[in-house]
Amino acid sequence: MPIRLIVHGGAWSIPDEMDAAHLNGVQKALETVYPALQAGISALQAVEQAVNILEEDPTFDAGRGAFLNDQGEIELDAIIMDGRDLSFGAVAAVQNLLHPVSLAQQVMVKTDHSMLVGKGAQAFARAIGMEELDPTVLLTERELAYYHQIKEDPNFKSHHPFEPLPSDTVGAVAMDKDGNLAAATSTGGTPRKMAGRVGDSPIIGAGAYADNQTGAVSTTGWGESIMKVLLAKTVCDRMEHTNAEEAARFGVQVLREKGKGYGGLIGVNAQGDYSFAYNTEKMAWGWVDTRGTIQARIK
Ligand code: ASP
């Protein structure tokens, strides 16, 4: 089977001066993980590792660099899914962790459950020895300044599609040499979200989905609308009946028309064809093409 790796770093009106940082982040994730995928790591390991790199990068709204909620705190959501048997792990509203996607992976493999939230997820992280960080480690000056700027603004809306409102969730989709698919998504959610708010990203079928029979998808954008149309599952289901590109376009059309929302997605179908689509001004994403060349894009 061909090996495939595609990642994203959010879909929104990314200001031009932030293009380079987004492209570098996407590039780094691909150039670090693709050789490992070639050397034989699984699709599941590849998506976790790629998302880990993006979580470390303060450019993105995931791990370090995440938005602050209305209490001035960072709460993180993540999911990882295995296309071999539809098993998945997810966490929501977790704090003080750099790699929520790895906690999600541990939920998948070490518990009888699929999703843990809040203080239960936190206790599980402690129990498995995951390092809890001082909250300032995840906090960037950029996000602190942004929080102070929007905190008291009565006109602030967390979901206007065509204004430069940040939306830098990260995600990855991979196919390994055995033809197995996996997807992962990690986010700090939306700026000034209510404490306890959980968006689409950790919700199976909304923020990500992976099924070896159809395809694997990771999404980004306005979570409240993405959940309505289960965007990732909608696109995976469509991949069974049409080509990967058309399936991605269909997903964004459903998001716009039925969900009245906006966002973007990346995917790979069961045949190894890539797909992406978005209805925001820009999306940051990249993939490794069939010749093994890294392609990073922002537009
Ligand atoms: N989908 C994420 C959320 O609503 C935000 C994003 O993709 O940037 O939590």
pLDDT at 200: 98
Percentage of the chain exceeding pLDDT 70:
98
What is the mean predicted confidence (pLDDT) over 217-244? 97
| Three-state DSSP state, 297 | strand
Question: Alpha-carbon distance 99 to 51, whole Å?
Answer: 8
Mean pLDDT of 132-144: 95
Q: What is the mean pLDDT of the chain?
A: 96
Q: Does residue 185 register a pLDDT over 70?
A: yes
| Mutational test site, ligand 1, from 12, 13, 169, max ligand atoms within 8 Å of CB | 169
All domains of the chain in start order, with CATH: 4-298 (3.60.20.30)
**266-283 as b/e, with b when 16 or more CB fall inside 10 Å?**
bbbbbebbbbbbbbbebb
Q: How far apart are CA 209 and CA 235, in angstroms?
A: 9
pLDDT tens for 42-92 read 999 999 999 999 999 999 999 999 999 999 999 999 999 999 999 999 999
pLDDT at 151 over 70: yes
Looking at the chain, the whole-number percentage of residues with pLDDT higher than 90 is: 94
The active-site residue, picked from 169, 214, 219, 280, is 169
For the chain, list the strands marked E by DSSP. 4-12, 76-82, 87-94, 115-117, 170-175, 181-187, 208-211, 215-221, 263-269, 274-278, 282-288, 294-298
User: Is-catalytic flag, 214?
Assistant: no
Comparing 31-35, 116-120, 163-167, 270-274, the range with the smallest average pLDDT is 163-167
For 225-237, what is the mean pLDDT? 97
CB 138 within 8 A of CB 72: no
Q: Which atom of ligand 1 is nearest to the CA of 168?
A: 8
Residue 208, CA distances (Å) to 6, 94, 137, 263, 282 in order: 13, 18, 27, 13, 20
Whole-number pLDDT of residue 146 = 94
If DSSP codes are grouped into helix, strand and coil, which group holds residue 70? coil
pTM: 0.98
Atom 4 in ligand 1: which residue has the minimum CA distance?
223
> Which of 127-136, 146-155, 159-168 is least confident?
159-168
Q: Which atom of ligand 1 is nearest to the CA of 207?
A: 1
Confidence of residue 161 (pLDDT cuts 50, 70, 90): low
Is the pLDDT confidence value at 164 over 70? no
pLDDT interval class at 165 (50, 70, 90): confident
Q: What is the pLDDT of residue 257?
A: 96
Taking 80 as the threshold, does the pLDDT of residue 162 lie above it?
no
> Residue 221 pLDDT more than 80?
yes
Task: Report the alpha-carbon distance of residue 147 to residue 145 in Å, rounded.
Answer: 5
- Ligand 1 residue neighbourhood (C-beta within 6 Å): 10, 61, 167-169, 187, 189-190, 199-201, 220-223, 226
To test the pocket of ligand 1, the residue of 163, 187, 278, 285 to mutate (highest count of ligand atoms within 8 Å of its CB) is 187
